[in-house]
Amino acid sequence: MKNQDYIDLRSDTVTLPTQEMLEAIRNAELGDDVFREDPTVNRLEEKAAEKMGKEAALLVSSGTQANLVSLMANTEPGELVILESQSHIYWYEVGGVSRIAGLLPWPVESLKGALNPKDVEAAIRPKNIHFPKPTLICVENTHNRHGGTIVTPSQINALREVAKTHDLKIYLDGARIFNAAVALEVDVKEIAKDVDNLMFCLSKSLSCPVGSVVVGTQVFIEKARKARKVLGGGMRQAGIIAASGIVALEKMIDRLKEDHENAKHLAQALNEMDGLSVDLENLQTNILLLDIGDLGISAKQFISELKENGVLALDQMPNKIRMVTHRGITRTHIEETKRTIENITQRRN
């Protein structure tokens, strides 16, 4: 089978651009973005900054690059950054926080991805010649490894008070921040208001082929632009990336509700099957974590059987499967996935 023949629930990164995006790319007005002369990039950055209620923005190639340039722009080498123990920065970004940014990551356990302010405060060691200087708190919203859980504006505000007390900044890895905003039914500015700077991905649920955007103050964005250049991320006629991003911000946000509904519909059905369970309280957006611990097979084996039957998913732990709904996954696909999984479970019971 070709990939396009599968029901692909591995990630919302597999989304393809809409026809309108492809037309926007084809007709994009272009210039040299390193010279800041690409008008399409400039429009996207202005739109992104306004959307988040911040001063300025910067287009980068990926979410990992967005996080890395933001770490570099917020800190100096040798400083300490506090982050959630299962955060994407800590787990999935090849150690760039230390290897390239030169920072000491200090992981803190959380409840469903939301850091407890008391735990964060306890991680801030006193000024001492032996200790690295803490400068940054990182938040992830929605939280990938916790299953797309949301960190609410009030939870971020509580961290803001700790940050003020200890003169720290807050950075938000908002790769799926629009999923959080749609689920909470709030303006995305409500989530962004208490962080100093943030990023969001264009290439996940918003369906763009590539790109992320870093947002913050003018001063911060100038530092991030310099860091992007150091990493080889300066782009020339980047309007071919930005054009789809403009369409995404104008047309693709409200439809995220459909992805959440599809995830919930699938989860409720799977929860009723023998040997399977889904924590429905944790299912808040478009990421579903399926526990197969009572089925008697490993996650890798389960995924292999899914693939043989036309469904793609990822293993997250030895007994957990991750499935992500996104544009391109319809209710018909959800029904087919339910039948496929039911057939697998029935053979095992």
**Taking the CB of residue 164, how many other CB atoms lie within 10 A of it?**
10
What is residue 296's predicted lDDT score, i.e. its pLDDT?
A: 86
Query: What residue spans in the chain does CATH classification 3.40.640.10 cover?
Result: 19-251
Q: Which pTM value belongs to this model?
A: 0.96
Query: At 327, phi and psi to the nearest 5?
Result: -60, 130
* C-alpha distances out from residue 100 to 77, 91, 103, 175, Å: 9, 15, 8, 21
User: Can you give the pLDDT of all 349 residues of the chain as single tens digits?
Assistant: 666 789 999 999 999 999 999 999 999 999 999 999 999 999 999 999 999 999 999 999 999 999 999 999 999 999 999 999 999 999 999 999 999 999 999 999 999 999 999 999 999 988 999 999 999 999 999 999 999 999 999 999 999 999 999 999 999 999 999 999 999 999 999 999 999 999 999 999 999 999 999 999 999 999 999 999 999 999 999 999 999 999 999 999 999 999 999 999 999 999 999 999 999 999 999 999 999 988 889 999 999 999 999 999 999 988 999 999 999 999 999 999 999 999 999 877 6
The answer to whether 263 and 270 are in contact (CB under 8 A) is no
What is residue 242's predicted lDDT score, i.e. its pLDDT?
A: 98
The answer to whether 28 and 233 are in contact (CB under 8 A) is no
What is residue 5's predicted lDDT score, i.e. its pLDDT?
A: 87
Pick the CATH number of 3-13+255-348 from 3.40.50.970, 3.90.1150.10, 3.60.20.30, 3.30.420.40: 3.90.1150.10
Tokens of 33: 């973005």
Number of alpha helices (DSSP H) and beta strands (DSSP E) in the chain? 14, 13
Query: What residue spans in the chain does CATH classification 3.90.1150.10 cover?
Result: 3-13+255-348
How far is it, in rounded angstroms, from Cα 89 to Cα 101? 12
What is residue 1's predicted lDDT score, i.e. its pLDDT?
A: 65
- What amino acid is encoded at 244 in this protein? S
How far is it, in rounded angstroms, from Cα 318 to Cα 292? 9
Note the CATH number of domain 19-251: 3.40.640.10
DSSP letters spanning 269-333: HHTTSTT-EE-TTT--SSEEEEE-TTTTS-HHHHHHHHHHTTEE-EEEETTEEEEE--TT--HHH
How far is it, in rounded angstroms, from Cα 171 to Cα 161? 14
Burial pattern 227-251, b for ≥16 Cβ within 10 A else e, equals: bbeeeebbbebbbbbbbbbbbbbee
HSE (side-chain half, CA atoms, 13 Å) at 338 = 18
